[in-house]
Amino acid sequence: MTDTEAIALFKCLADKSRLQILKSLASEDMYVERLAERLGLSAATVSFHLKKLAEVGAVTSYKTQYYTMYALRAETFSARIIDILREESQEADAQAQRDAAYRQKTIDAFFEYGKLKSIPAQRKKKRIILEEIVKAFEPGRIYPEREVNLIIADVHDDFCTIRRDMISEGLMARDQRGYWRTEEGEQP
């Protein structure tokens, strides 16, 4: 378990209702309405908590004939806390995690359900956004300009600006044949 995963798990567990849900599931697998009745919460609130618990790998679900049943995820809870604490966390890993977290935060702030809300003004953030958009292009394939525009337009209406920015950032290159995604380190 990485530090990030451990933090997410512990944060998620630091809630009385979620702890009560896990205690109930420790005795037997249950469906939402049964948990709601047992804990005196609304079914919608129980679903909300179960979704959070599922995101950190604390519970798992399976379908039966009538219900979706929830169960504790044994692998997560069989990990000993002392083993999690003993796992090495190198500074390089920590830096990489900080970079990844910054990157994710930027992506979350500027994208909503796969659409770019606005083009960042700050260069570092814009680079991250462009790197995200360029993933839609297969490496090694040459694209005509029209196709490039269509792919970018899926994400944002101002495809001309984004296309030009991707060229100037060296994420894509062009010649008379068309556009292609550059390899890492390839100069514009």
Asked whether position 16 contacts other proteins by CB under 8 A, the answer is yes
Residues in contact with other proteins, total (CB under 8 A)?
Answer: 15
Asked whether position 108 contacts other proteins by CB under 8 A, the answer is no
Partners of 173 in the beta sheet? Answer: 180
Kind and range of the H or E element at 131?
helix 123-134
Distances (CA, A) of 67 to 15, 70, 101: 26, 9, 37
How far apart are alpha carbons 49 and 36 in whole angstroms? 11
Residue 45 CB, nearest approach to other proteins (Å): 6
Asked whether position 45 contacts other proteins by CB under 8 A, the answer is yes
Asked whether position 49 contacts other proteins by CB under 8 A, the answer is yes
Q: Select the residue interacting with other proteins from 27, 108, 113, 185 (CB under 8 A).
A: 113
Decide whether 63 or 177 has the Cβ nearer to other proteins.
63
The secondary structure of the chain in percent helix, strand, coil, rounded to multiples of 5, reads 55, 15, 30
Asked whether position 85 contacts other proteins by CB under 8 A, the answer is no
Distances (CA, A) of 184 to 16, 131, 134, 141, 172: 47, 11, 12, 15, 10
Asked whether position 47 contacts other proteins by CB under 8 A, the answer is yes
Return the biggest CA–CA distance within the chain.
69
Piece of the chain touching other proteins by CB under 8 A; list 46-54, 74-82, 123-131, 138-146? 46-54
Asked whether position 21 contacts other proteins by CB under 8 A, the answer is no
Q: Where on the chain is the footprint of other proteins (CB under 8 A)?
A: 14-19, 41, 44-45, 47-49, 51-52, 113
